[in-house]
Structure 1
């Protein structure tokens, strides 16, 4: 004896199950973005601050823009400049850095208290953020910062060098 006594229900139920079966799709795998699995530079900041005149120079670089501010607090002069960054310039600038050695670079103490100038680098990658103050004492790893500064001088206008 059948559990379903009504003939309409006997026809409707298997049809309903077939419709559900055919309407279910397999979930497609969403590809993981390459940036999430790789480690690449997303931001570079460079600044020189201090000295007797209260001088400052700050440069912020992303994949699509560069911003520069410089001036002196004593003379109350302030200049700004901004521009877009081409993919070639971005590659040129970021190729200066060796991502495998970023964790090994050593900073030194600030010298602003003795009217010195602090040189600071900020490098953000997709996985980590790094800040280095006066790392020019690290003779082994500082070469990549020197290379970055020389590449940066090629991009900046003459009046901001």
Structure 2
């Protein structure tokens, strides 16, 4: 004697199983070029703190750059945004060695002592990295210095 008494349910159940089987197709991975496997997609840089509550934030993608800066004590706020060309993007991203991003060390915040915290955020196609006051990492900080000098070449004088 069958566990399923209705004939239409007997036919529906195997059909349902076949649909599930064929819909669970494995996704094929698209091969990634070796040079682009860990490509930088976003760079963020900020300096926040100090006695006046100063801040400067720069957000950079492949096609744009946005900057905000000001002071909470004086209620001063400025913004600037622009498109970015491929050459500038390459100069900025070439500052970083993606193979060493996991090795960079951060330090403690110094905002509590009225200091300015310097923060970098670097997003790659694989991972996101955030560094606070990494200037104490003398081995790897050179790439941040190179980035800041490249950034100064792009920013207007009033925002440096």
Q: TM-score, normalised by structure 1?
A: 0.79
CA distance in 2, matches of 1:95, 1:128: 17
Partner of 1:145: 144
CA distance in 2, matches of 1:50, 1:30: 45
Partner of 2:127: 128
Is 1:84 the equivalent of 2:86?
Answer: no
Partner of 1:64: 63
CA distance in 2, matches of 1:108, 1:120: 10
Q: How many residues align?
A: 132
CA displacement at 1:32 relative to structure 2: 3.7
CA distance in 2, matches of 1:77, 1:31: 48
Partner of 2:96: 97
Could you list the structure 1 runs, at least 4 aligned residues long, displaced by more than 4 angstroms after superposition.
none
Evaluate the alpha carbon distance shift between residue 79 and residue 39 of structure 1 in structure 2; reply closer, same or farther with a 3 A threshold.
same
Partner of 2:117: 118
- 1:58-84 CA-partner distances (Å, limit 9, x unpaired): 000000000000000000000000000
CA RMSD between the two structures? 1.6
Larger Rg: 1
CA distance in 1, matches of 2:29, 2:60: 31
CA distance in 1, matches of 2:32, 2:140: 31
